[in-house]
Amino acid sequence: MRFHSPQKLKTIADLIGSKFVGPEDFEVLGSNEIHMVKPGEIVFVNHPKYYDKALNSAATIILIDKEVECPEGKALLVSDDPFRDFNKINTHFTRIYNFTEELHDVEIGDGTKVHSSAVIGNNVKIGKNCLIFPNVVIGDRTEIGDNVIIQSGTVLGGDAFYYRKLDGNFDRLISVGNVIIENNVEIGNNCTIDRGVTDSTIIGEGSVLDNQIQVGHDTVIGKKCLIASQVGIAGCCIIEDEVTIWGQAGIASGLRIASGTVLLAKVGVNRDLEKGTYFGIIAEDFKGYLKKEVKLRNLK
């Protein structure tokens, strides 16, 4: 998430009541999760296991729960609760409406038809010649390209499934990102595509999604992908171009699937995959799987 205008380190520190390490006029451009963070942005870390990863990431400002040696050219925000303060920073610079206020700042292109029962949030852009079916929900800040079809019951821009356990309860990391649907995408009935926590969940140009598909926060699906019903893709995945995913496949968070890959029905993906065709509850090369099955059947 980029701020509307650059901020100073001291301004952010004052906002959350934290100590800071670095020049008070150190420039802060935004905030982001560690897998998406860019120079000039804040990343948070609240466990020693991940200190090195955060300190050595592309982030320029590290929101951390302990004062440590600050890498050259970077700054620290030292907080007793970085998770809480990351939420505070994000919601200060991005207002959360949750459909509680009247529609505003919505752009709809020529030739687009939106059914009267669809619900559209704030700061939404919809391109030309789109077709939005009944009971579609389009959350705040969603961007939809041209020639897009979204069928009934689909929700674009729901909250990310991102929690920590605090005092025996679940505490949400508030989602201030968005969803981007590129040109010529078709999305079936009752799909749910979560918005990014601090960045964008993206469905690439020309991709087609069947019914009842879940796409997690900050996942990027490439161009001309074909995804069958009941697929579940966790957050922060990269699905490259022209990937085919058949019914009920499941993909764990933070994984990359190479261009041209085919995932057969009910595949479980627990690691990055190179181009190929995969099958099985723990994804394995399909030809290898068949050979293994033949050998097992011949064991008599």
Res 56: pLDDT: 96
Q: Which pLDDT band, with edges at 50, 70 and 90, does 288 fall under?
A: confident
* Collapsed DSSP state (helix, strand, coil) of residue 62: strand
Of the candidates 78, 94, 80, 97, the one whose C-alpha atom is nearest the C-alpha of residue 32 is 94
State the residue range of the domain holding 72: 2-93
Please state the rounded mean pLDDT for residues 257-263: 98
User: Given 4, 47, 92, 217, which residue is catalytic?
Assistant: 217
Residue at 219 is within a domain: yes
- Please, what is the average pLDDT of the chain? 95
In this structure, the answer to whether residues 32 and 140 fall within a common structural domain is no
Higher pLDDT, residue 281 or 103 = 281
Of the candidates 256, 217, 247, the one whose C-alpha atom is nearest the C-alpha of residue 235 is 217
Q: 194: which residues sit within 8 A by CB, 6+ positions away? A: 157, 158, 159, 160, 161, 175, 179, 201, 215, 216, 217, 235
Percent of the chain with pLDDT over 70: 99
Res 68: pLDDT: 96
In this structure, the answer to whether residues 115 and 24 fall within a common structural domain is no
Residue at 236 is within a domain: yes
In this structure, the answer to whether residues 161 and 246 fall within a common structural domain is yes
Res 146: pLDDT: 98
pLDDT digits (tens, 9 = 90+) for 266-277: 999 999 999 999
In this structure, the answer to whether residues 113 and 195 fall within a common structural domain is yes
Task: Say how many domains are in the chain.
Answer: 2
Q: Name the one residue in this structure whose structure tokens are 């559209």.
A: 120
Q: Which pLDDT band, with edges at 50, 70 and 90, does 99 fall under?
A: confident
pLDDT digits (tens, 9 = 90+) for 209-251: 999 999 999 999 999 999 999 999 999 999 999 999 999 999 9
pLDDT digits (tens, 9 = 90+) for 149-199: 999 999 999 999 999 999 999 999 999 999 999 999 999 999 999 999 999
Q: How far is CA 13 from the centre of its chain?
A: 27
In this structure, the answer to whether residues 201 and 140 fall within a common structural domain is yes
Q: Which pLDDT band, with edges at 50, 70 and 90, does 92 fall under?
A: very high
Q: To 5 degrees, how large is the angle CA 26–CA 218–CA 99?
A: 90
Q: Which pLDDT band, with edges at 50, 70 and 90, does 18 fall under?
A: very high
CATH of the domain at 110: 2.160.10.10
CA–CA gap between residue 160 and residue 70 (Å, rounded): 31
Percent of the chain with pLDDT over 90: 91
Of the candidates 117, 142, 148, 153, the one whose C-alpha atom is nearest the C-alpha of residue 130 is 148
Residue at 140 is within a domain: yes
Q: How far is CA 6 from the centre of its chain?
A: 24
Q: b/e map of 227-246 (b: 16 or more CB within 10 Å)?
A: bbbbbebbbbbbbbbbbbbb
Res 298: pLDDT: 82
In this structure, the answer to whether residues 31 and 9 fall within a common structural domain is yes
Q: Which pLDDT band, with edges at 50, 70 and 90, does 205 fall under?
A: very high
Q: Name the one residue in this structure whose structure tokens are 């939809």.
A: 144
Q: Please say if the pLDDT value at position 85 is more than 70.
A: yes
For residue 4, indicate whether it is catalytic: no
Q: Please say if the pLDDT value at position 300 is more than 70.
A: no
